[in-house]
Chains A and B, each alone.
Chain A
Amino acid sequence: MLYFFEQFLNGIQLGMLLFLLAAGLTLIFGIMDLVNLAHGSLYMLGAYFAATFADWTDSFLLGALLALAATAVTGMLLEVIAVRRLYGRSHLDHVLGTFGLLLFFNELVRLIWGPAGMTLSLPSEMLNAVEVLPGLFYPLYRLVIIGVTLVVAVLMYLLIMRTRLGMLIRAGASNREMVGALGVNIKLLYTMIFGLGAALAGFAGLMQAPILTVQIGMGENILIAAFVVVTIGGIGSIRGAFMASVLVGLADTVGRAFMPDLLHAFLSESASSSLGRALSSMMIYLVMALVLIARPEGLFPAAGK
């Protein structure tokens, strides 16, 4: 039971990371209609920047803040220099172009930081375990991830619902042409949205860096999961991204934890172990396939879609 709750928390934590990525993806997709395979590269850069800056400043917090800024700036530069030329073209052209960017960034990181990857250490207090339930100790840092992301989610909600920028974002998600007709500086708006997406991705990258990984190509796997989340949640919908992230995070984590045991009721130890691993990896794709078949626009599509 405690084990289940621990996995539950892990699932929530994974969901939060996915949300940060998916939120940016769904915004960029919903408003600029851009399929961005290089989004995972910004996630990777966030982690690398954080590891580097934390190393230079000897402070995790300072390193994280600098990394956040650096990733946002990188994202905006990327948009201005390269990405904006893809707007309006077919999704296939997006796939091709951003795939090229993905290859480029992996290689660039290898050039600058070398192939070995990096580590980012936490301040020692973060490593403590907190007793969340009687008998269940959970790492403080993971709780911090959950907490901080929830704060970010609330901030995003306020941004989208209460500010002028948010209004433009909502309008853009359901009717792109109208926003242009309103006389808004579309180019600037798009750059800012892309920068926001980049910041969110970088934030996810730097947050998971101490507990998971900082290495080349780390963006790819989670990027696919983020696309799954966006598809399930509904393109252009932050709310959908949040719900779907939690769903996918839980499905993946809890599935991985309990699938072998579930199968063990019917199969041998080794069979249920390998089949369990395979099935739990497929879990999120099965969920997506089911959702797409039942509700092709996603579970919480943005209004007007």
Chain B
Amino acid sequence: MSPTTKPPVKTGWSMGIVTPRIGLNIAAIATLAIVPAYAALTGNAFALTLFTRVVILALAALSLNLIMGFGGMVSFGHAAYLGIGGYAVGILAKEGVNSGFVQWPIAIGAAALYALVVGALSLRTRGVYFIMITLAFAQMIYYVAIGLDRYGGDDGLTIYHRSAFGLIDLSNRTIFYYLCFGLLLVGIYLVWRIVNSRFGMVIQGARSNERRMRAIGFPTFRYRLVCFVIAGAMCGLAGALLANHTDFISPAMMHWTRSGDLIVMVVLGGMQALFGPLIGALTFLVLEEGLSRLTEYSNLILGPLLLIVAISIHGGIDGLIAGRRSG
């Protein structure tokens, strides 16, 4: 990059300058990196469980941020892909297929396929209609899952063997944690590359001003659809991880309030901020956990807190840290 080109505030990748934003991101990564050690030292196994969940949902939120934050496509049905990925693993496990090499690609593929269908139909709509129609498609899958008597229906299905990957033993919680954490870091890196590539420019431009994008010659629909599918696939992987983590699948994985949680994580962390989903998932889940220890009625605090965030904070936590001007 030539010295006179200043990157837009959003990406903030000015190497060598440790801004508060970069500081926060590094702190978050560092914290997550030492969780297993902390858990082992203090004998607090629950911490490991909680943070595994944080990391997995951060991956799901990351995929949502790709389409929502960078792409401007507010999907209220993203939990569907978590569910599809999870159910792929659960169903295959029940049918005796325990190999992760089979389960996980299918989980990713099935989620990508559903994203293709949903995207192809929904991306022709805008604004609140898009929100509603993505919600509807998630509800459809939710009800399909409830109707799957063979796989637990409403009660859900226990998974007795985690995905088998030869020598890697996923039932070892520390190994599993680092696998999830590693995948999250890979995911963040991939999103970074995608967002700054030609493809990413089209996606961001379409968010910013779709009319102009078409006027200068971009067939925006196909690019947004591909983005939607990529996000669905990534979330499907998160779903496979989640199923392994909880050793359980149920329709609740794709209840619309789960989609709401994902949206909260993305907005809280800061849309268009690369590490936003991670910060958001960390904050939201730790907050949720902390509040539930404080009081049996944690949502009495969490609810209004979300409202306050919606009213006052522009750009989520990332915006707060980076001191971004309102917009």
- Physical contact A–B (CB less than 8 Å): yes
Identify the A interface with B (CB < 8 A). 29, 35, 37, 82, 85-86, 89, 91-108, 110-111, 220, 224, 227-228, 231, 235, 274-275, 277-278, 281-282, 285-286, 288-289, 292-293, 296
Q: How far is the CA of A110 from the CA of B297 in the complex (A)?
A: 8
- Consensus secondary structure, chain A interface: helix
Q: At the interface, yes or no: B27 with Cβ under 8 Å from chain A?
A: no
A86 adjacent to B311 (CB under 8 Å): yes
Which among A37, A91, A277, A292 is the interface contact of B133 at CB below 8 angstroms? A292
Identify the B interface with A (CB < 8 A). 68, 74, 76, 121, 124-129, 131-133, 135-137, 139-140, 143-144, 146-149, 256-257, 260, 263-264, 267, 297-300, 302-307, 309-311
B129 adjacent to A296 (CB under 8 Å): yes
Smallest CB-CB separation from A97: which chain B residue? Answer: B310
A79 to chain B, nearest CB (A): 13
Given contacts A93-B310, A100-B303, 9 further A-B contacts (CB under 8 A): A29-B128, A92-B263, A97-B310, A99-B260, A100-B304, A103-B302, A107-B298, A224-B256, A228-B136
Q: How far is the CA of A110 from the CA of B299 in the complex (A)?
A: 10
Contacts of B146 in A (CB 8 A): 277-278, 281
B302 adjacent to A100 (CB under 8 Å): yes
Smallest CB-CB separation from A100: which chain B residue? Answer: B306
B310 adjacent to A102 (CB under 8 Å): no
Q: Supply 28 A–B pairs (Cβ within 8 Å), ascending by A.
A: A82-B307, A91-B128, A95-B131, A97-B307, A100-B302, A100-B306, A103-B303, A104-B304, A104-B307, A107-B300, A110-B297, A111-B297, A220-B256, A227-B132, A227-B135, A231-B132, A274-B147, A274-B148, A281-B143, A281-B147, A282-B143, A285-B140, A288-B136, A289-B121, A289-B133, A292-B129, A292-B132, A293-B121
Of A92, A94, A98, A275, the most chain B CB neighbours within 10 A belong to: A92
Smallest CB-CB separation from A296: which chain B residue? Answer: B125
Give the 10 A-B residue pairs with the shortest CB-CB distance, closest first.
A104-B303, A100-B306, A97-B310, A278-B147, A107-B299, A281-B143, A285-B136, A103-B303, A96-B310, A103-B299
Q: How far is the CA of A86 from the CA of B146 in the complex (A)?
A: 35
Smallest CB-CB separation from A281: which chain B residue? Answer: B143
Of A95, A103, A227, A231, the most chain B CB neighbours within 10 A belong to: A103
B136 adjacent to A289 (CB under 8 Å): yes
B117 to chain A, nearest CB (A): 10
Q: How far is the CA of A91 from the CA of B133 in the complex (A)?
A: 15
A100 adjacent to B147 (CB under 8 Å): no
Contacts of B148 in A (CB 8 A): 274
A290 to chain B, nearest CB (A): 10
Q: How far is the CA of A103 from the CA of B264 in the complex (A)?
A: 12
Contacts of B121 in A (CB 8 A): 289, 293
